[in-house]
Amino acid sequence: MKSSSFISKLPIVSVNEGEQIVTIQSLVVSRASKKVEYFTVNGGSGSIVPLMLSFKDVIGIGNDYVVIQSANSIKKLYDNKEFIAAAEEGVVLIGASVMSTAGDILEKVVDYVIDEKTGVIASLTLGNNQEIAGDKLVSISAKFIVVELAGGSAAKAPEASAAAVDENIAFLVGKVVNSDVASGDGEFVIKAGTALTAELVAEAEKRDMMLQLTMAV
């Protein structure tokens, strides 16, 4: 197991060329598979061309190097349809907001650990040093990582809770809902096409609808 912070900045060595080529810049997690499937690559001093490497082209990730078979595995992002699709669909998890399935906003991701052989996420580390096992990861979107915690409640830093909820309300105000969102009892419904106001979002928060509402904008 290795952390994303450890893997980031590791140099890449090609077996065919027998030399260090470039370095890992960041890990890209697929929203669909919830695994690391690509790396962005630092092309060196002065390079402005985005480069990417597929996880499947990595032979091994050691303590000193990331090993690949050929330098040809590293390609310019905009010259490769697979990499363009990966960049559009993937997420760099560091700094991403985390929400529990109970609708509680947690701290942001500061690091995570993966199985370096498969890319599977073993655990997430949040800003308050809380660790969440990888099997609790429910979904990944452009806005939130959704996790399921024991008992459906969030184990978060108490002093950060109110501020985090206020931040989420501010984020949603002004957004337009793409599909109907209803409370569990069906008594409160926000129709598709509705522009969210602070009052509507606050009411949704009271009725534990924040997860559904966030996913609908």
Residue 43 pLDDT > 90, yes or no? no
pLDDT band of 106, cuts 50, 70, 90: very high
Kindly state the average pLDDT of the residues 122-127.
95
pLDDT at 167: 56
Residue linked to tokens 């096992």: 133
Q: Which amino acid is at 149?
A: L
Q: How far apart are the first and last CA of the chain?
A: 36
Q: Residue-wise over 11-42: b if at least 16 C-beta within 10 A, else e?
A: ebbbeeeeeebbbbbbbbbbeeebebbbbbbb
CATH 2.30.30.240 placement within the chain: 2-91
**Stretch among 98-102, 140-144, 185-189 having the lowest mean pLDDT:** 140-144
> Bigger pLDDT: 99 or 198?
99
pLDDT at 162: 46
Reported CATH class of domain 2-91: mainly beta
> Bigger pLDDT: 165 or 85?
85
Beta strand extents in 55-114 (DSSP E only): 58-61, 66-68, 75-76, 90-91, 97-100, 109-114
Kindly state the average pLDDT of the residues 84-112.
90
> Bigger pLDDT: 49 or 192?
192
pLDDT at 14: 94
**Stretch among 3-7, 78-82, 195-199 having the lowest mean pLDDT:** 78-82
pLDDT at 156: 43
pLDDT at 76: 87
Decide: 68 and 11 in contact? Cβ < 8 Å: no
Kindly state the average pLDDT of the residues 86-109.
89
pLDDT at 166: 55
Residue 100: its H or E element:
strand 97-100
DSSP type of residue 45: T
Decide: 204 and 210 in contact? Cβ < 8 Å: yes
pLDDT at 157: 42
CA distances from residue 91 to 94, 145, 166 in whole angstroms, order as listed: 9, 10, 24
Kindly state the average pLDDT of the residues 181-194.
86
